[in-house]
Structure formats: structure tokens, C-alpha cells
Amino acid sequence: MRFRDVFSIIGPAMVGPSSSHTAGAARIGRVARLMFGECPGSADIQLYGSFAATYRGHGTDTALVGGLLDMTTDDPRLPDAFAHAEAAGMTVSIRPGKGLYPHPNTAELTLVNAAGDHTLRLTGTSIGGGNIEIVRINGFSLKLTAAYPTLIIRHYDEPGVVAIVSALLVDSGINIARMAVDRQSRRGEAMMVMECDAMLDRVLTDRISQLPGVQEISLLAM
């Protein structure tokens, strides 16, 4: 189901004026920030569809930047996000994207840290009422809603990786609500995303990160 529960319909609490163009944009920005793990030195933001057509009036750009600064949808500082970005030393470029896009409200973010040795490319869609779907991460086509604690694992495509990670989750009594896997090539780089019904503890994430075949893991909890 695209919309999972009552609070995806009633809510979120947010600063106006648009749930899809402001609150959803803030959430996409915040997912990118949490996945990136540090304040970006630069953010290149490409907007598509209705995002590109109407972002100024809705503060879509402001909200994305606010999210990149770890602000929530009802953060009173949100309207002044650009000033906060400048203070934080983050440069921002906003431009209309070219080519096909997956949803009328789509933003493509490329984040680079100040040292220039850490990059994240992420495509997010705002599907209505402040709900979002991240549909692409560093070239992998996946789907995650950020509504659950989400395990994001970069790994090698080999038999058993998904099964072993799932088994560890089962041992901890954690249920997987949704999951997605994509790979660059057979036996090449791959990524899996697991949206879980409960929070994972440090012991569990450490064990998963040490599994053979696993390159890197991150845990997203909004």
C-alpha cells in the first residue's frame, strides 16, 4: 500500500504551504542528510515536473535545504533554511532537471562533503500528503518510504546475502515490512533496503556489517 496508516493521511504537523511541495520536500532532504551522515559541503538539486514548475511559491527549494540541515517538517526555522545553509557552509544549486522522471514531484539530489571524498546521489518523489518514496540511491533503483527504521546495505551480489541478513533480523524478532534489492550486474555491486517494524540495535547492525559480502550498511530512522 502506498499509504500505510492513519498518520500518513492525518498529518504530518508541518509548516505550510504545501504538503507535497514543502513537507514532502523537507522529508526527502532529511532522508538524504541522514543517509549522508554529515552536513554536505555542496548540494546540487535538480527538480522535475510540478516541483520544477512551482517550487518558488511553495518553498520546495527552501524545504529541501531545511531537510538537508536535518530539520523536521514542522521546524519553525524551515522558512529561513537558506540563511541557515549559508551559516553552515553549505552551497546550494537549484536547477530544472532534464529527461524522464518517475513522478510529477521529483527531486534529484547530489551531495558532496567539504573534503570532496564523499558523494551521495538520491532521487526522491513526493507522493502526496507529505509522504515520500526514495526511488534511486547511487544508481540503484529501489523503493523506500522512510516511514520505518530502514536498513540500507551495499553488498556484493552473491547467493545467500539476503537470507543471512534476514535470518539475523529473525533472531532479534524484527519483522521486515517492505524490502527491495537491486544490482549493477550479476556478481557485481548490489544494494538492499529493508524497512523494519522495529528499531535495530547497535549489536545487530555491527553483526550485519561484518557479514561476508557486505560492504557498508546504514540505518535510517526518521
Cβ at position 6, least distance to another protein in Å: 4
Q: Which is nearer to another protein, 128 or 213 (CB)?
A: 128
Q: Which is nearer to another protein, 6 or 163 (CB)?
A: 6
Contacting positions for another protein (CB under 8 A): 1-20, 22-23, 49-50, 53-59, 74, 76, 78-79, 104-105, 126-130, 197-198
Cβ at position 95, least distance to another protein in Å: 16
Q: CA-to-CA distance for 118 and 208, rounded, in angstroms?
A: 22
Beta carbons within 10 angstroms of residue 160's beta carbon: 11
Q: Which is nearer to another protein, 48 or 140 (CB)?
A: 48
Cβ at position 156, least distance to another protein in Å: 33
Beta carbons within 10 angstroms of residue 40's beta carbon: 26
The kind and range of the H/E element at 176 are strand 176-183
Under 8 Å between Cβ of 41 and 89: yes
Q: Which is nearer to another protein, 171 or 197 (CB)?
A: 197
Q: CA-to-CA distance for 117 and 51, rounded, in angstroms?
A: 29
Cβ at position 172, least distance to another protein in Å: 15
Cell of 19: 504538503
